[in-house]
Chains A and B, each alone.
Chain A
Amino acid sequence: MAPPEEAGGGDQFPVGMKVLVVDDDQTCLAVLKRMLIQCRYDATTCSQATRALAMLRENRGAFDVIISDVHMPDMNGFRLLELVGLEMDLPVIMMSADSRTDLVMKGIKHGACDYLIKPVRMEELKNIWQHVVRKKFGGNKEHEHSGSLDDTDRNRPTNNDNEYASSANDGAEDSWKSQKKKRDKEEDDSELESGDPSNNSKKPRVVWSVELHQQFVNAVNHLGIDKAVPKKILELMNVPGLTRENVASHLQKFRLYLKRIAQHHAGMGNPYGVPASSAQVASLGGLDFQALAASGQIPPQALAALQDELLGRPTNNLVLPGRDQSSLRLAAVKGNKPHGEQIAFGQPIYKVQNNSYAALPQNSPAVGRMPSFSAWPNNKLGMADSMSALGNVNNSQNSNIGLHELQQQPDTMLSGTLHTLDVKPSGIVMPSQSLNTFPASEGLSPNQNPLIVPSQSSGYLTGIPPSMKPELVLPTSQSSNNLLGGIDLINQASTSQPFISSHGGNLSGLMNRNSNVIPSQGISNFQTGNTPYLVNQNSMGMGSKPPGVLKTESTDSLNQSYGYVNHMDSGLLSSQSKNAQFGFLQSPNDVTGGWSSLQNMDCFRNTVGPSQPVSSSSSFHSSNAALGKLPDQGRGKNLGFVGKGTCIPNRFAVDEIESPTNSLSHSIGSSGDIPDMFGFSGQM
Chain B
Amino acid sequence: MDYSNLRRQAASLKKGLFDQGHLDEQFRQVEDLQDEASPNFVEEVVVVFFKDSGRLITNLEQALEKYPRDFNRWDAYMQQLKGSCSSIGASRMKNECMSFRDSCGQRNVEGCMGSFQKLKREHAVLRQKLESYFQLLRQAGPAGAATRPVM
- A231: chain B residues at CB < 8 Å are none
26 residue pairs bridging A and B, Cβ less than 8 Å apart = A24-B80, A25-B80, A25-B84, A25-B87, A26-B48, A26-B51, A27-B53, A28-B87, A30-B44, A30-B45, A30-B48, A31-B88, A32-B87, A34-B38, A34-B41, A35-B33, A37-B37, A71-B79, A96-B83, A98-B82, A118-B83, A119-B86, A119-B87, A119-B88, A121-B29, A122-B32
Whether B79 and A119, one on each chain, are in contact in the complex, defined by CB atoms closer than 8 angstroms, is: no
Residue of A nearest to B24 (CB): A119
Q: Is B52 an interface residue (CB 8 A)?
A: yes
Whether A31 and B33, one on each chain, are in contact in the complex, defined by CB atoms closer than 8 angstroms, is: yes
- B88: chain A residues at CB < 8 Å are 27, 31, 119
Whether B49 and A27, one on each chain, are in contact in the complex, defined by CB atoms closer than 8 angstroms, is: yes
- B29: chain A residues at CB < 8 Å are 35, 119, 121-122
Whether B80 and A31, one on each chain, are in contact in the complex, defined by CB atoms closer than 8 angstroms, is: no
Whether A97 and B86, one on each chain, are in contact in the complex, defined by CB atoms closer than 8 angstroms, is: yes
Residue of B nearest to A98 (CB): B79
Q: Is B132 an interface residue (CB 8 A)?
A: no
A38 and B38 CA atoms in complex are apart in Å by: 11
A23 and B52 CA atoms in complex are apart in Å by: 13
Whether A71 and B80, one on each chain, are in contact in the complex, defined by CB atoms closer than 8 angstroms, is: yes
Q: Which of B26-65 contact A (CB under 8 A)?
A: 26, 29-30, 32-33, 35, 37-38, 41, 44-45, 48-49, 51-53
- B49: chain A residues at CB < 8 Å are 27
- A24: chain B residues at CB < 8 Å are 80
- B51: chain A residues at CB < 8 Å are 26
Give min CB distance, B117 to chain A, whole Å: 22
Q: Tell which of A27, A31, A98 has the most Cβ of chain B within 10 Å.
A: A27
Whether B33 and A34, one on each chain, are in contact in the complex, defined by CB atoms closer than 8 angstroms, is: yes
Residues of B within 8 A of A (CB): 26, 29-30, 32-33, 35, 37-38, 41, 44-45, 48-49, 51-53, 76, 79-80, 82-84, 86-89
- A121: chain B residues at CB < 8 Å are 29
Give min CB distance, A413 to chain B, whole Å: 29
Q: Is A69 an interface residue (CB 8 A)?
A: yes
Give min CB distance, A107 to chain B, whole Å: 15
- A23: chain B residues at CB < 8 Å are 83
- B26: chain A residues at CB < 8 Å are 119
Known contacts A30-B48, A31-B45, A35-B33; A118 and B87 CB within 8 A of each other: yes
A168 and B127 CA atoms in complex are apart in Å by: 47
- B30: chain A residues at CB < 8 Å are 31
Give min CB distance, B105 to chain A, whole Å: 11
Residue of B nearest to A24 (CB): B80
Residue of A nearest to B35 (CB): A38
Give min CB distance, A46 to chain B, whole Å: 16
- B41: chain A residues at CB < 8 Å are 34
Give min CB distance, A628 to chain B, whole Å: 50
A34 and B36 CA atoms in complex are apart in Å by: 12
Q: Tell which of A23, A71, A118 has the most Cβ of chain B within 10 Å.
A: A118
Residue of A nearest to B87 (CB): A28
- A120: chain B residues at CB < 8 Å are 87
- A31: chain B residues at CB < 8 Å are 30, 33, 45, 87-88
Whether A69 and B83, one on each chain, are in contact in the complex, defined by CB atoms closer than 8 angstroms, is: yes
Whether B76 and A71, one on each chain, are in contact in the complex, defined by CB atoms closer than 8 angstroms, is: yes
A36 and B144 CA atoms in complex are apart in Å by: 29
Residue of B nearest to A69 (CB): B83
Q: Which of A35-91 contact B (CB under 8 A)?
A: 35, 37-38, 69, 71
A69 and B84 CA atoms in complex are apart in Å by: 12
- B32: chain A residues at CB < 8 Å are 1, 122
Whether A97 and B79, one on each chain, are in contact in the complex, defined by CB atoms closer than 8 angstroms, is: yes
Whether B84 and A28, one on each chain, are in contact in the complex, defined by CB atoms closer than 8 angstroms, is: yes
A69 and B49 CA atoms in complex are apart in Å by: 17
A523 and B64 CA atoms in complex are apart in Å by: 50
Whether A27 and B80, one on each chain, are in contact in the complex, defined by CB atoms closer than 8 angstroms, is: no
Q: Which of A330-383 contact B (CB under 8 A)?
A: none
A25 and B53 CA atoms in complex are apart in Å by: 10
- B35: chain A residues at CB < 8 Å are 38
Cβ proximity bits A107-126 to B, threshold 8 Å, 1 near / 0 not:
00000000000111110000
Whether B89 and A26, one on each chain, are in contact in the complex, defined by CB atoms closer than 8 angstroms, is: no
Give min CB distance, A404 to chain B, whole Å: 40
Pick the 4 closest A-B CB pairs, nearest first: A97-B83, A28-B87, A34-B33, A27-B49
Whether B52 and A119, one on each chain, are in contact in the complex, defined by CB atoms closer than 8 angstroms, is: no
Whether B33 and A27, one on each chain, are in contact in the complex, defined by CB atoms closer than 8 angstroms, is: no
Residue of B nearest to A34 (CB): B33
- B38: chain A residues at CB < 8 Å are 34
Residue of A nearest to B46 (CB): A27
- A34: chain B residues at CB < 8 Å are 33, 38, 41, 45
A98 and B48 CA atoms in complex are apart in Å by: 21
A98 and B76 CA atoms in complex are apart in Å by: 11
Give min CB distance, B38 to chain A, whole Å: 6
- B53: chain A residues at CB < 8 Å are 27
Q: Which of A1-36 contact B (CB under 8 A)?
A: 1, 23-28, 30-32, 34-35
Whether A27 and B52, one on each chain, are in contact in the complex, defined by CB atoms closer than 8 angstroms, is: yes
A2 and B45 CA atoms in complex are apart in Å by: 22
Whether B89 and A27, one on each chain, are in contact in the complex, defined by CB atoms closer than 8 angstroms, is: no
Whether B79 and A26, one on each chain, are in contact in the complex, defined by CB atoms closer than 8 angstroms, is: no
- B80: chain A residues at CB < 8 Å are 24-25, 71
Whether A27 and B79, one on each chain, are in contact in the complex, defined by CB atoms closer than 8 angstroms, is: no
A73 and B55 CA atoms in complex are apart in Å by: 15
A135 and B89 CA atoms in complex are apart in Å by: 33
Residue of B nearest to A32 (CB): B87
- A38: chain B residues at CB < 8 Å are 33, 35
A118 and B80 CA atoms in complex are apart in Å by: 11
Assuming A32-B87, A35-B33, A98-B82, what are 12 further A-B pairs, CB within 8 angstroms?
A25-B80, A26-B52, A27-B48, A28-B84, A34-B41, A69-B83, A96-B83, A97-B79, A118-B87, A119-B26, A120-B87, A122-B32
- B82: chain A residues at CB < 8 Å are 97-98
Cβ proximity bits A95-109 to B, threshold 8 Å, 1 near / 0 not:
011100000000000
Give min CB distance, A364 to chain B, whole Å: 38
A247 and B53 CA atoms in complex are apart in Å by: 53
- B45: chain A residues at CB < 8 Å are 27, 30-31, 34
A97 and B82 CA atoms in complex are apart in Å by: 7
Residue of A nearest to B51 (CB): A26
Residue of B nearest to A118 (CB): B86
- A27: chain B residues at CB < 8 Å are 45, 48-49, 52-53, 84, 87-88
Q: Tell which of A23, A28, A31, A96 has the most Cβ of chain B within 10 Å.
A: A31
- A30: chain B residues at CB < 8 Å are 44-45, 48
Give min CB distance, A247 to chain B, whole Å: 44
